Amino acid sequence: AQSVTQLGSHVSVSEGALVLLRCNYSSSVPPYLFWYVQYPNQGLQLLLKYTSAATLVKGINGFEAEFKKSETSFHLTKPSAHMSDAAEYFCAVSDRVLTGGGNKLTFGTGTQLKVEL
């Protein structure tokens, strides 16, 4: 079964500092990978996705992630944190092959990002 592990349930950075949120996946074949962000009392917003077109994926709001097969990782980064980045971030994995059973997302446990002045 597929799974993702997000290291660090809480990450705190200073405004202007690098943001690094970690995600490792477990899958027998390279899956599709996604990063979502959730603001309080909101649904999930797609930040970016990896579908094998390129290993470095750029998303919205200045975020990007790099797919590293050798490390089974898909870490999310942003060069300079902004106060508005404070939110919860979820890494998710989906089957690459549509087996006829549908494509559910399996989420990590989330990382709460705090941005301090």
- Which residues would be at the binding site for other proteins (CB under 8 A)? 32, 34, 36, 41-46, 49, 51, 90, 94-98, 100-110
- Nearer to other proteins among residue 81 and residue 113 (C-beta): 113
CB of 38 to other proteins, least distance (A): 9
Q: Compute how many other C-beta atoms are within 10 angstroms of the C-beta atom of residue 78.
A: 21
CB of 52 to other proteins, least distance (A): 8
- Nearer to other proteins among residue 86 and residue 96 (C-beta): 96
CB of 100 to other proteins, least distance (A): 8
Backbone angles phi, psi at 18, to 5 degrees: -70, 140
- Nearer to other proteins among residue 56 and residue 98 (C-beta): 98
- Residue 22, SS3 per DSSP: coil
Cβ neighbours of residue 35 closer than 8 Å, sequence gap 6 or more: 21, 23, 46, 47, 48, 49, 59, 63, 65, 74, 76, 89, 90, 91, 92
CB of 91 to other proteins, least distance (A): 11
